Amino acid sequence: MLLGRRSLGVPAAAAADMHGKDCVKVAVRVRPFNKRERDAGSRCVVSMVTSSITIQDPRESQSCRSFCFDYAYWSHSSFARDHSGLYVPEEPGGRYADQNSVFQDLGEGILENALQGYNATLLAYGQTGSGKSYSMVGYGPNKGLVPKLCDRLFQAIGENQDTRQCQVFFSMLEIYNEQVVDLLSRGSRTPGGLRVREEQQRGFYVEGLRTVPCDSAAQVEQLMEQGTRTRTTAATNMNANSSRSHMLIILQLKQIFSKESITKQSNINLVDLAGSERQRSSGSEADRLKEGTAINLSLTTLGNVISSLADVAVGKKVVHIPYRDSALTKLLQSALGGNSRTVMIATLSPADICYEESLSTLRYAERAKRIQNRAVVNESPTERLVKELKAENTKLLQRLSRLGQEGRRANDETKELRQLLTHNELQIRAIQTLREQHLQEALKDWEQQYANITQERRMMQMHPYILNINEDAQLSGVVKLFIQEGDWDIGLCDSSPRSICIRGLGIQERHAVFRNEQRRVTLTPLTGSKVTVNGNAVFQTTDLQHLDRLILGSNCTYLFIGFPSERGGDDWSRYDYDYFLSELAAAEGIHLGESSAGSSQTDPSLLAVFYDYVKLMPMVAEANQMSQELNKGVQFKLEIKNLAMSDSKGHDLQKEIVVRVTSSGRKQVWMWSKAKFVNRKFLMEDAYQQHQAASGDERVEGLPTAALPRDEDPFWDPVEPVLLGTAHLWLQSLAFRIPLEEQLEVLGSEGTEEAILQAQLVPCTSTGLPMGEDDILIDPSELLGRRLDFQLVLDQCCGLRWIREARNRGVQIGFRFYNCSQPLYSPAVWHNVNPLLDHRVHFASLHTSQRLLDHLQSSAVVLELWGLQEGCTDLTSCLEGVRMTTEGIFIIEEAGPTDTALVDSTELSCSARALQQDMEELKSVNTALRKENQSLREQLNAARNGE
């Protein structure tokens, strides 16, 4: 839709000169397939030509959307890995955009702006795993924008040392759940995080944030390493998900040009935003708990701010821009609507299964590029104050000496002036001492950290160790826990000197024991603790081999690194979090590799569901652990919705993951969508952390349930009827006025047999008398234009699994006939495994049309089995808009004006035959689907048994 609009090819500086405004520059970048996408046989749905990008809907190849940005980076293909591990274009000048070329375009501009004294901001936006951190920070030798920018910054500083003096200050912080955490401060976290304050001149800033003076790029890299380490420990300790946090690096550059006596100051904000995906998935779903906003208020608000600003830019009237609604938007206020030159890099996955997310990212970027800022060269208030005070002092001194020269006896005046002078000097000194103190502290701290890092490097060359593997690749390999000679407890215990302390869900006080003896390392789980090695649960002493994968508790993942002699030059990066997950899934019977699911025939959407399933497995384990520790008495279980269900034509329904929540004693059941579960889990983590904080550091077993009022409890919901399963009653016999009596198998969404339902379709007279054999039609087209009466009879349900599980339950049957807008429900029956329903509904078509006839010949009425539980209200038929006769007959069709008997009847019987064929086909499709579902079900069951 945007093709044809002129691309913003004009350099930003030129654009700024023309209007006094700077548009936010936007770049998009598409990464290579990851292993999972490759295994899935994914197709690339993104293409690029110069700065325009096109994305194709994988389900409709005709449907394409094009967007134009300032830059579009193709980092998907045509690259090679050189000897040093750098990704470079396959051939010189190739289309592949490597880290260097991205830096050339985006980084150099930011550097240039900063050196001129402008504030500059760089934001990375995109779904988790799309390459934000790769672009911002980079991996290994493929350095991203931040380290490259620092390299060039210090190089530039070194070049002009005679004309100017420069100082660089570095800070790094994280916003998680609206809490601001200083990543460079080793001290204990401030509960509730640091405060974001506002000052007239400075705007919003973080109070008490550590700023470290830096004089080399190497130093900045060390600091980033330190910050990442803090982030990693925070993520594992607090059981927090880094993809939900925003990481901000702030570089302050101060330049003093002594000759011209001007000071220029600029802030460079480098922001690696939280994954964009949750925002969308939670936004679409309503829950009685404040979800969505709670998950990532900052990201949602950022979206709102960007939308408002984009509206402003196109001249719409906007009353209020909600900067103040979140911590992130407060800190980015000047980057977005003010004094900054801003660049956004939007990162995309190329794969068909990520189409929705990628499209939403492009739309977001599209809005962002409309935003206009007004950047100015900055002068620091502190510098000015010192300068002003100095100037005032010089003047005062002059006046003093003049007074002396003039020999006038103006004692009073002199005294007053001297006082002023002393006061000013004290003030100058105070400002300087404060700053120096600050710097000294930060420097000392940094030296300490540096010593620790050096120490760690030495240890790595001497001992085996375990290495953390995080869902966020950027945080993997940051924590190293060394296993020196002897026995070492691993667990929560931090008191014992011979222990390795870790935190996380499901980690016991003493969880397991490592033994390092005679150049062998073994691991022994202690009673009641969960330990998995290479995907398999272990209960006994196990020998560890170099590169073994360990999972401790619910989800603490570590890679074992053996003795230095065993290591060789291997690269551990292939053992990423995905690897752990698929190994775990494989051990439980689900194969996502090239072998089964990866075969090219597998429907990509089904595959996506399986990946979701595997991804959610550890989250469900964590939720169960929290429920147990908080005595919530609920259990979570993953299910695939619609796995064995189809619509009224027998078409396969879209499948998705749901979480079945069961309260203890299996008395209550809820079905949560994936989005709801993800949101709820976040709220559970919140509740869990509060509980931990409240119960102090000592962990008491069986503490009373965290005291949350029911309506704020994320583990709970008011009970509602649950859809247990469906059965298909095919309508074809009605077209011939043949009565039908069936024993239908009601299948649960995963293929479980929920009940047998006895149902009938009885053609009848308008008074409800059953028709006989004489009324059978040879040719259904005889019905055209005539009245058709029939009854749907629900006789009995047998073997209700739902009631067998708990007697205090009931069921209802729901169904929707033809064009009825609302479902009808049979009355509720309770406490009985084989309840009589004896429910009869009379339908009539007053003037049967071809459409209805087609429908009868090709469709089924879907009978839904609904489970009722104690405390929930029955489902009632809503009769609004439903046509009924005075005798209570439901009218499904009245006389249609166009539908007359004019149509050639031979043609009709032809079409009827064709329809009949269609239906046979559909039926066989349905059978095939059921077969497929059966096998999927088996896989799942196998997985279940392992749980």
449 binding Mg ion? (CB under 5 A):
no
CB of 350 to ligand ADP, least distance (A): 10
142 binding Mg ion? (CB under 5 A):
no
CB of 228 to Mg ion, least distance (A): 11
Tokens of 256: 């003093």
| CA–CA gap between residue 442 and residue 423 (Å, rounded) | 29
474 binding ligand ADP? (CB under 6 A):
yes
List Cα–Cα distances, 577 to 54, 128, 194, 277, 598, in angstroms.
31, 13, 31, 19, 19
Q: Which does 130 bind (CB under 5 to 8 A by kind): Mg ion, ligand ADP, none?
A: ligand ADP
| CA–CA gap between residue 277 and residue 612 (Å, rounded) | 13
Q: Which of 131, 350, 535, 562: binder of ligand ADP (CB under 6 A)?
A: 131
Q: Which does 139 bind (CB under 5 to 8 A by kind): Mg ion, ligand ADP, none?
A: ligand ADP
Could you tell me which stretch among 29-37, 57-65, 223-231, 607-615 binds ligand ADP (CB under 6 A)?
Answer: 29-37
Q: Which is nearer to ligand ADP, 134 or 736 (CB)?
A: 134
Q: Which is nearer to Mg ion, 165 or 360 (CB)?
A: 360
Phi, psi of 731 (to 5 degrees): -95, -5
Could you tell me which stretch among 125-133, 279-287, 352-360, 362-370 binds Mg ion (CB under 5 A)?
Answer: 125-133
CB of 357 to ligand ADP, least distance (A): 11
143 binding ligand ADP? (CB under 6 A):
no
Which DSSP string do the residues of 372-430 spell out, in sequence order?
EE-------HHHHHHHHHHHHHHHHHHHHHHHHHHT---HHHHHHHHHHHHHHHHHHHH
Given a contact cutoff of 8 angstroms between Cβ atoms, the answer to whether 750 and 765 are in contact is no
SS3 content of the chain, % helix, strand, coil (to 5): 35, 25, 35
Q: Which does 933 bind (CB under 5 to 8 A by kind): Mg ion, ligand ADP, none?
A: none
Phi, psi of 257 (to 5 degrees): -95, 100
133 binding Mg ion? (CB under 5 A):
yes
Q: Which is nearer to Mg ion, 67 or 134 (CB)?
A: 134
Q: Which is nearer to Mg ion, 176 or 670 (CB)?
A: 176
Near ligand ADP in 56-115, by CB under 6 A: 75, 87
Q: Which is nearer to Mg ion, 474 or 555 (CB)?
A: 474
30 forms beta bridges with 74, 348
Size of the site for Mg ion (CB under 5 A): 3
Q: Which of 42, 113, 130, 340: binder of ligand ADP (CB under 6 A)?
A: 130
133 binding ligand ADP? (CB under 6 A):
yes
Q: What is the dihedral of CA 728, 734, 739, 740, to 10 degrees?
A: -10
CA 817 from chain center: how many Å?
A: 39
Within 57-141, strands assigned E span 64-68, 71-74, 79-81, 87-89, 120-126, 138-139
789 forms beta bridges with 764, 844
Could you tell me which stretch among 123-131, 288-296, 592-600, 745-753 binds ligand ADP (CB under 6 A)?
Answer: 123-131
CB of 504 to Mg ion, least distance (A): 20
CB of 545 to ligand ADP, least distance (A): 25
132 binding ligand ADP? (CB under 6 A):
yes
Long-range contacts of 938-946 (CB under 8 A, 24+ apart): 939/589, 939/590, 940/590, 940/640, 940/643, 940/750, 942/588, 942/589, 942/590, 943/585, 943/588, 943/589, 943/590, 945/589, 946/587, 946/588, 946/589
Instruction: Report helix, strand or coil for 217.
Output: helix
Residues 6+ apart with CB under 8 A from 12: 22, 23, 25, 109, 341
42 binding ligand ADP? (CB under 6 A):
no
Instruction: Report helix, strand or coil for 254.
Output: strand
809 binding ligand ADP? (CB under 6 A):
no
Tokens of 449: 């950290």
CB of 280 to ligand ADP, least distance (A): 15
Q: Which does 131 bind (CB under 5 to 8 A by kind): ligand ADP, Mg ion, none?
A: ligand ADP
Could you tell me which stretch among 26-34, 176-184, 549-557, 589-597 binds ligand ADP (CB under 6 A)?
Answer: 26-34
CB of 934 to Mg ion, least distance (A): 40
Q: Which is nearer to Mg ion, 472 or 713 (CB)?
A: 472
CB of 205 to Mg ion, least distance (A): 25
134 binding ligand ADP? (CB under 6 A):
yes
Q: Which does 256 bind (CB under 5 to 8 A by kind): Mg ion, ligand ADP, none?
A: none
Could you tell me which stretch among 2-10, 131-139, 192-200, 399-407 binds ligand ADP (CB under 6 A)?
Answer: 131-139
CB of 126 to ligand ADP, least distance (A): 5
| CA–CA gap between residue 489 and residue 403 (Å, rounded) | 79
Residues 6+ apart with CB under 8 A from 597: 40, 590, 591, 607, 610
Q: Which does 226 bind (CB under 5 to 8 A by kind): ligand ADP, Mg ion, none?
A: none
- Pairing verdict, β 25-30 and 341-348: parallel
Q: Which of 86, 139, 324, 891: binder of ligand ADP (CB under 6 A)?
A: 139
532 binding Mg ion? (CB under 5 A):
no
CB of 302 to ligand ADP, least distance (A): 16
Q: Which of 25, 31, 278, 855: binder of ligand ADP (CB under 6 A)?
A: 31
Q: Which is nearer to ligand ADP, 309 or 368 (CB)?
A: 368
517 forms beta bridges with 520
Could you tell me which stretch among 30-38, 169-177, 307-315, 431-439 binds ligand ADP (CB under 6 A)?
Answer: 30-38
32 binding ligand ADP? (CB under 6 A):
yes
- Pairing verdict, β 246-257 and 262-272: antiparallel
Size of the site for ligand ADP (CB under 6 A): 19
Q: Fill in the DSSP letter of residue 106.
A: I
Indicate the residue whose CB is closest to ligand ADP: 131
Which DSSP string do the residues of 491-505 spell out, in sequence order?
ES--SSTTEEE---T
Residues 6+ apart with CB under 8 A from 770: 739, 762, 763, 764
CB of 272 to Mg ion, least distance (A): 6
The contact mask relative to Mg ion for 472-511 (x = CB under 5 A, - = no) is --x-------------------------------------
Indicate the residue whose CB is closest to Mg ion: 133
Q: Which does 679 bind (CB under 5 to 8 A by kind): ligand ADP, Mg ion, none?
A: none
Given a contact cutoff of 8 angstroms between Cβ atoms, the answer to whether 671 and 723 are in contact is yes
| CA–CA gap between residue 719 and residue 710 (Å, rounded) | 13
| CA–CA gap between residue 846 and residue 890 (Å, rounded) | 10
CB of 242 to ligand ADP, least distance (A): 9
| CA–CA gap between residue 908 and residue 898 (Å, rounded) | 16
349 binding ligand ADP? (CB under 6 A):
no
Catalog residues that contact Mg ion under the rule CB under 5 A. Answer: 132-133, 474
Catalog residues that contact ligand ADP under the rule CB under 6 A. Answer: 31-32, 34, 75, 87, 126, 128-134, 139, 243, 275, 347, 473-474
